[in-house]
Amino acid sequence: MKNNVTKSKLLVTLFSLILTVTCLFPARAQEKPKPLADRIGHTDQSKAMAGKNVHQGAGTLYMQTLLGRGAITGLNFMHHGPLMPKSSIGHHYHTNSDEMFLILDADCEFTVNGRTALLKGPVGVPCSSGNSHAVYNPSAKQADWVNFNVAVTSGPSPAAAYATVAAPSGTVAPVRRGSYNYSADPTGTFDIGDDRVGVVLDKKPTFLNTGQLTKASLRPVVNMNGGKDTVFYRRALGPGAFVSNWAFVDHLLIPVGSSVGRHYHAGVDEVYFVIKGKGKVYVNDEWAEIAYGDAVPVKAGEIHSLESSSSEPLEMIVYGVALEKGKLDVVDVPLTLAKLQMFFEVMPENYAAFEKNYIEVYVPALRKQPGYLGSKLIRRFPADYMKKIGSPETKFTFEMELLFEREEQRVAWTKTPEHDVAWAKTSALAKSYQWFGYDVVGMDQVADPLGKRNMTVEKQKP
């Protein structure tokens, strides 16, 4: 019995020491973002932990952590799970964070600062720092519950500031042991001891809420951020609803065949949470399929876009957290790659020289140019085979494709000394030529058929 008690004390001491060290030392520098697939939180009912009498509430709440601290700036956690029938999250205060309960499929009784009202779902109710809240599911069915919590920060935390103070000369800073934590804040979250079951209801809510999150409350937006067709959108809550840098809660519906175009935010992190349907999310050069219950974190500066699946709409709640309180921005990044196609009439006796010139002269010159993405030299099939497959007759035997990020970068390339030298040598090998310019509005390449290489057509080692 004595050994068991000793082991228990050691475990408590060790756990307390871990908490102390975590609080005393600031977080490490921000690491390189994980691959998109590893960043997305996926709802999995089997991973939801059963919580009894949460915040001294009634019944049971099943809770899965979709996203943890650091997934985006300021986020403490994002939880998802069913709030069981006749169950509640008890009345409690937050003094250092903003939080919002979101109910997706039921009518629940929400409490803020002791006043309670029944709100029709889907609906979200924020509780800004310094206030108290609770939620009760009075029905005979479980309610689909989501919780998002953002820290209130104002410069370095007391713990971080404390950790930077050096010990006096000639002394050694003591290592704190046991359960003593000088940086602890036991009132960051404070339970009142009230499960809010059977309380008197106000006819109308006396607190901020998103309003019912239905399509009827959304407005159409054509070509949102340069996307396709029409989506439906509403900003349900803005920066004024929160003490922290939490900036907004948006409701977004993307019908089949529509999309939100490529864009980024220089000063806003976001989480896209799927409440219905399926679709795709693109972040920088990655993409992932997403469905109900997925939470996608997107950091400031990351170019992202969204589209529905081919069979059903994609409906989402978007959480935004500003890097600086109240400062929001958006920059559209249309897919406007510029491609120039040049056609050359080259005599058979010059084929080898023309191809060598592309490799040794044109490509090295292009690779020095800002915005250059790639190029390709294509030689047409022999005339007899072209006739066999039904191709129209043409005098041109080669095609060269140049790809730049923007048309102005391609134009700038034509004014460089490298271009003048490369073009003079190339055109001298052709009997005639012409060109066409295009905006690239779609592109797909699974892999490079010639494999990895430093130049465009170097010979590969066996």
Which three-class secondary structure state does DSSP give residue 57? Answer: coil
Give the phi and the psi of residue 217 in degrees, each rounded to 5: -90, -5
Instruction: Tell me if 2-28+41-191 shares its fold with 216-332.
Output: yes
For 37, 76, 372, 373, 459, the CA distances from 446, given in Å and listed in that order, are 18, 38, 20, 16, 21
CA separation for the pair 421, 273 (Å, rounded): 53
First to last CA, the chain: 70
CA separation for the pair 81, 191 (Å, rounded): 21
- Among 3.10.50.40, 3.30.70.240, 3.40.109.10, 3.30.70.100, name the CATH number for the domain at 337-440: 3.30.70.100
Instruction: Give 3-state DSSP helix, strand, coil % of the chain, rounded to 5.
Output: 20, 40, 40
Domain ranges for the chain, please list them: 2-28+41-191, 216-332, 337-440
CATH superfamily of domain region 2-28+41-191: Jelly Rolls (2.60.120.10)
Beta bridge pairs of residue 368: none
Give me the architecture of the 216-332 domain, per CATH.
Answer: Sandwich (2.60)
113 Ramachandran zone, left/alpha/beta (phi>0; psi -120 to 50): left
What pLDDT does 168 receive? 47
pTM of the model: 0.68
314-322 and 189-191: which strand pairing? unpaired
* Other C-beta atoms lying within 10 Å of the C-beta of residue 182: 11
Nearest CA-CA partner of 288 in 302, 270, 266, 309: 309
Q: What residues have CB less than 8 Å from 304, skipping those under 6 apart?
A: 262, 263, 264, 281, 282, 283, 284, 298
- Show pLDDT as tens, one digit a residue, over the chain (462 residues): 445 444 444 433 333 333 333 333 334 344 567 899 999 999 999 999 999 999 999 999 999 999 999 899 999 999 999 999 999 999 999 999 999 999 999 999 999 999 999 999 999 999 999 999 999 999 999 999 999 999 998 544 433 333 334 444 444 445 455 556 777 777 788 999 999 999 999 999 999 999 999 999 999 999 999 899 999 999 999 999 999 999 999 999 999 999 999 999 999 999 999 999 999 999 988 999 999 999 999 999 999 999 999 899 999 999 999 999 999 999 988 766 667 889 999 999 999 999 999 999 999 999 999 888 888 999 999 988 988 999 998 999 999 998 887 788 889 999 999 999 999 999 999 999 998 877 666 666 555 554 444 444 333 344
Burial 299-334, CB ≥16 within 10 A → b, else e: bbebbbbbbbbeeebbbbbbbbbbbeeeeeeeeeee
- Please tell me the number of Cα atoms within 13 Å of 162 on its side-chain side: 14
